[in-house]
């Protein structure tokens, strides 16, 4: 048994779904394969900060109605150090650009519903996906349905938008992959809590004992993070300890007080940076987390995935419609220019705001000087704001 499509995509995350929609808009057929159920995809709660151009793209594609109703549009962020806070007015610094806080799983819900409404095919709950013949003109993806039936997609091109652990990158011969990585010595303990809004925008706080982040999911639900040991056991963090830590790290001059509430989700994630510069092999292309990981401090993960597939969709359209493969040849270099800038920004935000006990006292003072310079320099603020809302798009 087999199916035929122009572009076969493994992965129903931001990269795979945006790519399928962009190709559909260009009249190109794509089928998505996903190893999780639809309920699991839509129910995996993840934060989301959308760059200005991503929200504009969603509106242009007719995918932004619920985002416009339920998203939180922020004109700036608050940075805190030494118990003092300062506001970065990104909208003013960037000529009117804002960011939108709209959770990634909500974006996926919108994109899945729209893809299915358009008649698109998404095979959920598949297993054993594998890429074959990627150096030929008819690459294929074999997989197994939930009921055990074996199947295959025969394609013109195939895309691994299947995350860090998916088969996409692994299908590129190891000898041909150029990979770069950094593992940070700290992680984030994240919580969701039923609590009223404490602050009107995100607060990024550097404290002598570690980083903290305050974010709003809705007027009743707050998302917060604290720096911790990535190997720590979540059982060592009862709710009382979490709230006490958040109060200490977010304490500021004045009478502001953090609002508490019932914590209904918590977990620890490691922080790392990763880039695979080999984003193409034959007719296989990789995008999103399959090709790069950024620490969440810079809020770039979803945005980079969309940037990848915007470049890739245009290149696939040129190749399929006009037999022009120049864009496909240029795809890795074009995407990687943006990737490395986002990696640099995410690394900068992470090192500036976190306490690393492996650093010397001299380096700790440099981090404080970075924040002090940022607080007093409009040029430094403009550079951070430009990166945060999204650099001018290339490609």
- CA dihedral sign of residues 281, 164, 270, 386: positive
Rounded-to-integer distance, Cα 375 and Cα 356, Å: 22
Rounded-to-integer distance, Cα 302 and Cα 88, Å: 22
Rounded-to-integer distance, Cα 141 and Cα 216, Å: 40
Rounded-to-integer distance, Cα 40 and Cα 20, Å: 20
Helices (H), the chain: 14-25, 38-43, 52-60, 65-70, 90-93, 104-117, 167-170, 239-250, 301-322, 326-353, 361-376, 378-389
| Buried b / exposed e along 185-219 (16+ C-beta atoms within 10 A) | ebbbbbbbbebeebbebbbbbbbeebbbbbbbbee
Name residues whose C-beta falls within 8 Å of residue 10's C-beta, 6 or more positions apart in sequence. Answer: 16, 32, 33, 34, 129, 131, 141, 158, 159, 160, 161, 162, 166, 167, 168
- How many CB atoms within 10 Å of residue 168? 31
**Backbone phi, psi, residue 100, to 5°:** -120, 125
Q: Which residues carry out catalysis? A: 74, 204, 296, 300, 388
Which residue do the tokens 């980083």 mark? Answer: 211
Rounded-to-integer distance, Cα 380 and Cα 214, Å: 23
- CA dihedral sign of residues 29, 35, 38, 44: negative
Cα angle 371, 201, 301 (rounded to 5 degrees) comes to 75
Name residues whose C-beta falls within 8 Å of residue 3's C-beta, 6 or more positions apart in sequence. Answer: 31, 151, 152, 153, 154
Rounded-to-integer distance, Cα 227 and Cα 235, Å: 16
């Amino acid at each position: 048994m087999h199916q035929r499509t122009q572009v076969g995509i493994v992965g129903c995350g931001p990269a795979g779904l945006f790519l399928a929609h962009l190709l559909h808009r260009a009249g190109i057929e794509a089928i998505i394969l996903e190893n999780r159920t639809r309920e699991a995809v839509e129910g995996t709660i993840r934060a989301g900060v959308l760059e200005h151009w991503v929200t504009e793209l969603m509106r242009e594609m007719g995918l932004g109605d619920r985002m416009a109703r339920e998203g939180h549009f922020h004109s700036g962020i608050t940075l805190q150090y030494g118990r003092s806070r300062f506001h970065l007015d990104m909208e003013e610094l960037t000529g009117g650009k804002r960011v939108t806080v709209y959770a990634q799983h909500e974006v996926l819900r919108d994109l899945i519903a729209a893809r299915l409404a358009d008649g698109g095919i998404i095979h959920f709950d598949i297993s054993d996906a594998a890429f074959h013949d990627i150096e030929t003109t008819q690459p294929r993806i074999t997989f197994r349905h939930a009921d055990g039936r074996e199947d295959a997609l025969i394609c013109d091109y195939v895309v691994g938008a299947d995350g860090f652990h998916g088969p996409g990158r692994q299908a590129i011969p190891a000898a041909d992959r150029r990979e770069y990585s950094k593992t940070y010595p700290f992680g984030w303990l994240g919580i969701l809590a039923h609590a009223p809004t404490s602050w009107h925008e995100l607060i990024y706080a550097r404290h002598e004992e570690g980083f903290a982040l305050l974010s709003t999911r809705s007027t009743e639900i707050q998302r917060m993070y604290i720096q911790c040991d990535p190997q720590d056991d979540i059982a060592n963090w009862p709710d009382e300890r979490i709230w006490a830590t958040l109060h200490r790290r977010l304490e500021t001059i004045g009478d502001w007080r953090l609002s508490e509430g019932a914590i209904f989700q918590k977990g620890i994630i490691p922080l790392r940076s990763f880039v695979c510069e080999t984003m193409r092999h034959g007719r296989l292309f990789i995008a999103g987390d399959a090709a790069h990981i950024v620490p969440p401090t810079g809020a770039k993960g979803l945005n980079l995935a969309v940037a990848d597939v915007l470049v890739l969709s245009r290149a696939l359209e040129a190749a399929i419609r006009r037999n022009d493969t120049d864009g496909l040849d240029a795809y890795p270099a074009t995407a990687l220019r943006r990737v490395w800038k986002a990696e640099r920004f995410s690394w900068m935000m992470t090192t500036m705001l976190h306490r690393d006990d492996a650093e010397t006292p001299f380096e700790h003072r440099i981090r404080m000087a970075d924040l002090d310079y940022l607080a007093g320099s409009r040029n430094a603020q403009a550079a951070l704001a430009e990166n945060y809302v999204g650099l001018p798009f290339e490609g």
